[in-house]
Amino acid sequence: MDQKNNSCTNSKILIEVQRLSDTLEAFAVERDWDQYHSPKNLSMALTGEVGELSEIFQWLTEEESKSAGTNQSTALAVREELADITLYLVRLASVLGVDLNEAVTHKLQKNASKYPVEKAFGSNKKYNKL
């Protein structure tokens, strides 16, 4: 998002994952895991990790959930699940040939169009209900 006018721009790199992608590819190749890293398998693994993150929050109150990343009893698990999600997401994008920076930039632009500030400010309504 451009701070000056709250619009998304293509000129900034919002997410840079190439080094991580290369590291994950090397990690998989060293272990002969490339054969298992199909988009289907990676998306299923990603879903599982999101489920594990959700499990941490399942019985927390709204207030407790806000400090789950820093609370001694949940912080390590939150960090590890977020890391797992990130690793699978980056690997999946790589296997599919998706440029995450371009995808994120495009999606932010699309969301800015669907949720203009003057209509969406303070609202939790879906774009088609604004």
pLDDT per position as a tens digit, 31-46? 999 999 999 999 999 9
Domains delineated in the chain: 18-121 (1.10.287.1080)
% of the chain with per-residue pLDDT over 70? 92
Confidence bin at 3 (pLDDT 50/70/90): very low
- Alpha-carbon torsion, ordered 57, 60, 65, 71, to 10 deg: -90
Q: What is the pTM of this model?
A: 0.86
Token pair, residue 55, equals: 């499990």
Residue 5 has pLDDT above 50, yes or no: no
Phi, psi of 7 (to 5 degrees): -110, 155
Phi, psi of 12 (to 5 degrees): -105, 145
Q: pLDDT tens digit string along 66-113? A: 999 999 999 999 999 999 999 999 999 999 999 999 999 999 999 999
| Dist. CA 80–CA 86, nearest whole Å | 10
Q: Distance between CA 123 and CA 56 in Å, rounded?
A: 27
Q: Are 92 and 99 in contact (CB under 8 A)?
A: no
Identity of residue 17? V
Q: Quick check: 7 pLDDT over 60?
A: no
